[in-house]
Amino acid sequence: MEKNNNHKLISALCYFSIFFAGFILPIAVYFIVDDYEVKRHATRALFSHLIPLITVPVILIMAILTETVGGFGIFMILGFVLAFLINIVVIVWNVVKGVQVLKTY
């Protein structure tokens, strides 16, 4: 029973690590822990942690391209809003999945 509780806690920490360890903790857990379910949760958490890491460079590239074309346009503002909303959804999703793992695993 204790093994199951430890796996549950490690799986939940993979999701919650979006606040403190980014994608490092899910990668470490994936390679250290041998349990299939924990690896599955670590993989899902890793992919969800990479989404904000991808949106920031995309927004920066959009800012550079918009600046060279002719200023700070509506597309740039929409890009910032879209990236913000995507990142909020990812954070909420990680918290929900972490809580679900703690309750049901």
Cα separation, 75 vs 44, in Å, equals 31
Domain of 51 in residue numbering reads as 2-104
* pLDDT tens across the length of the chain (105 residues): 456 888 999 999 999 999 987 789 999 999 999 999 999 999 999 999 999 888 888 877 777 777 666 666 677 777 788 889 999 999 999 999 999 999 975
What pLDDT is attached to residue 72?
A: 62
What pLDDT is attached to residue 105?
A: 53
What pLDDT is attached to residue 57?
A: 83
Split into its structural domains, the chain has a count of: 1
Q: Dihedral sign, CA of 85, 89, 95, 98? A: negative
What pLDDT is attached to residue 61?
A: 79
Cα separation, 87 vs 22, in Å, equals 13
pTM: 0.82
What pLDDT is attached to residue 92?
A: 96
